[in-house]
Amino acid sequence: TKIIYVEHNGTQHEIDVKVGLSVMEGAVKNSVPGIDADCGGACACATCHVYVDDAWVEKTGKPDELEASMLEFAENVEPTSRLSCQIKVTDALEGLTVKMPASQH
Ligand code: FES
């Protein structure tokens, strides 16, 4: 599944991520900068914060309670903010675009 990661400076990375991995894992495995993922995907660090492109918000859905409470520790949270370790890659997300916040680089 093609995921497009956009760095805060506008640099785009088009990565083919296997279905079943998280959006965070897709970035880390392919050395995309801007997603630190200090906790390794346990929804406990908020350093995998991304902004989901407006066109995709419906498909990726809303954060669950645990994720929402963790997002409170992220900087510059927007309505489209998600923790990328909590977004599972599926076929339906082909072309998903996420932006990394300026605080993670
Ligand atoms: Fe730590 Fe996502 S990797 S919250």
Write down the domain spans for the chain. 2-99
Beta bridge partners of 22: 88
pLDDT digits (tens, 9 = 90+) for 69-99: 999 999 999 999 999 999 999 999 999 999 9
Q: 2-99: which CATH topology?
A: Ubiquitin-like (UB roll) (3.10.20)
Q: What's the CA-to-centroid distance between 59 and ligand 1, angstroms?
A: 20
* pLDDT tens per residue across span 36-76: 999 999 999 999 999 999 999 999 999 999 999 999 999 99
pTM, 2 dp: 0.96
Torsion, Cα 57 46 20 94, to 10 degrees, reads 30
Q: Which of 29, 39, 98 to mutate to test the pocket of ligand 1 (most atoms within 8 A of CB)?
A: 39
- ipTM value for the complex: 0.99
C-beta 37 within 6 A of ligand 1: yes
